[in-house]
A = this chain, B = another copy of it.
Amino acid sequence: MSPAEKDRKPAESESEYAHKLPSQAEDFSGWYTTLVRSAQLADYAPVKGCMVIRPYGYALWENMQRLLDARIKATGHQNAYFPLLIPESFLKQEAEHVEGFAPQVAWVTQGGEDALEERLAIRPTSEAIICHFYARWIKSYRDLPVLINQWANVMRWEKVTRLFLRTTEFLWQEGHTAHRTAEEAMEETLRMLEVYRAFLEEDLGVPVHKGQKSESEKFAGAERTYSVEALMRDGKGLQAGTSHYLGQHFAKVFDITYQDEQGQRQHVEQTSWGVSTRLVGALIMTHGDDAGLRLPPRVAPIQVIVVPIYRKPEERAAVTAFIERVTAALTAAGVRWKVDADDTQSPGFKFNEWERRGVPVRFEVGPRDVQGEQVFAARRDRREKQPLPLGELGPRTLALLEDVQRGLFEQAVAYRDAATGDAETLDEMAAALDTRRGFVRARWCGEAACEALVKERTAATLRCLPLADGPDPGPCAVCGRPAPRRALFAKAY
């Protein structure tokens, strides 16, 4: 083995970060925060609970945004932009809504030199301001449906925060639609839930359960809330997106009406739905391992990192020239690539660095590869390497990336399924949630009191009533009274 070839083995000690990253088993929370900061995805801001999203993290978010935006537009929605500031009186109109959000609002009380007459909320969500406009825009059944989405920053004054997962300011999209009938609005609610499932599973490789939230977990002001629920690698659940059927709650207080075909005034039926930068956290905690991030190819800012390997100047020239042919082939195939040509770092250091930053595929190019007209391709989802001939590089790379995408999803499904089990009693639930964590499927009678008892005893919450599950009657795991079906419980972020 030549000295250059030796560098193809991971050289853990060379990475300046590797020793700082705790293993998931010893400190999952430390692993997460260290990784987010050292991979330069994001960092804390001077204002408590706010974050800066650094270029690598933002490129990831941009890729996610582009793919989800296309799905949102493909289902007939248009984007718009509503004001950041909402007068307090607007927020107060829907009683449940203000009760849910007022404790988390950041208030603007001064504009320039003047104290304001009315406090203005930085939007924690935009129902109140959007309904104000819908009341003006919607006149007739011909104006319906209104299908609008917004990409925006929102702010919720959180007490306990964590990068991406729960920050005071975050980025999101929020859809707000208005319809003629309850049926249409319910159809929309479930359509967008399915858009989220497809986006999460197909683009992010994050398997989710679609389901309905219980009364106690639903959105403040909604008639019904649905969510997609994922499982992180520490066994904790994470709500990855929500879709709300709002009914006529907001339409009635904001007076959003239309004239129907018979000339009668009717209140509209509404929905709202959103996902946020929290999904970046979901992605990290679904796929990451002890070596760092593992990014799904469809959203990875860099899909292929090319590492040149050489010792002598003439080798360097040959390798560099060959890499130009490699990257030309990657560009032609539409692959996002980068060459790490930094002369001050060894290949081994670079391998660790880009593994930590989650790049799905690494190309190693040394003198032997130049001779053989090939690259040596290492995949990040599992420790496998294979030579790829230059002549077939475009299609073979695309196939490899698809394979990594699939591989990450399958590993996540396998983990999730292994960490899911049934429990018949509260004791069994507590035991399961204590030892192996994960999802517990238990029968629930529908009473809030039973749900509260589970939380008190196990710290787990009712994540959702999965839509895919049929009826499964039997005794409620808590009170023993008849329950129609099982609910999904987990400790959650």
A84 within 8 A of B: yes
Assembly CA distance A86 to B112 (angstroms): 15
Quick one: which of A43, A107, A108, A113 has the most chain B CB within 10 A? A108
Taking CB atoms and an 8 Å cut-off, the chain A residues in 292-328 that contact chain B are none
**CA A148 to CA B263, docked complex, whole Å:** 55
Chain B CB within 10 Å — which of A45, A47, A79, A157 has the most?
A47
Smallest CB-CB separation from A78: which chain B residue? B55
Given contacts A47-B120, A52-B81, A83-B52, contact A112 B105 (CB under 8 A): yes
Say how many copies of this protein the assembly contains: 2
- Alpha-carbon separation in the docked complex, A219 to B472 (Å): 68
B residues near A153, Cβ cutoff 8 Å: 84, 152-153
Chain B proximity of A87: nearest CB distance (Å): 6
A82 to B44 CA separation, bound complex (whole angstroms): 10
Task: State in angstroms the CA–CA spacing of A53 and B43 once bound together.
Answer: 31
CA distance A157 to B111 in the complex (A): 6
**A58 on interface, CB distance cutoff 8 Å:** yes
Q: Give residues of chain A (154-169) contacting chain B, Cβ–Cβ below 8 Å.
A: 155, 157, 168-169
Q: Does A51 contact B (CB under 8 A)?
A: yes
Smallest CB–CB gap between A337 and chain B, Å?
15
Q: B108 to A112, Cβ gap below 8 A?
A: no
The 3 tightest CB contacts between A and B, nearest first, are A55-B78, A112-B157, A53-B81
Decide: A79 and B107 in contact? CB cutoff 8 A: no
- A490 CB → nearest B CB, Å: 27
| CB under 8 Å from chain B, chain A span 136-181 | 148, 152-153, 155, 157, 168-169, 171
Q: List 27 A-B contacts (CB under 8 A).
A: A43-B133, A45-B82, A45-B129, A46-B87, A46-B90, A46-B132, A47-B87, A50-B84, A50-B85, A52-B82, A52-B83, A52-B133, A55-B78, A55-B148, A57-B80, A58-B78, A59-B79, A61-B81, A84-B122, A85-B106, A85-B169, A106-B112, A107-B110, A108-B122, A109-B109, A112-B157, A153-B153
- Chain A residues 430-489 with CB under 8 Å of chain B are none
A378 smallest CB distance to B (angstroms): 26
Asked if A103 lies at the interface with its beta carbon under 8 angstroms from chain B, I say: yes
5 further contact pairs, Cβ within 8 A, besides A46-B90, A50-B84, A122-B122: A58-B78, A84-B153, A85-B106, A106-B108, A108-B109
Knowing A47-B120, A83-B169, the reply to whether A107 touches B108 (Cβ < 8 A) is yes
B106 pairs with A111, CB closer than 8 A: yes
Q: Which residues of B contact A51 (CB under 8 A)?
A: 83
- A104 an interface residue at 8 Å Cβ cutoff? yes
Partner of A47, one of B47, B62, B83: B83
Contact A45–B169 (Cβ < 8 Å) = no
Residue A8 interfacial (CB < 8 Å): no
Write out the residue numbers on chain B whose beta carbons fall within 8 Å of the beta carbon of A103: 112-113
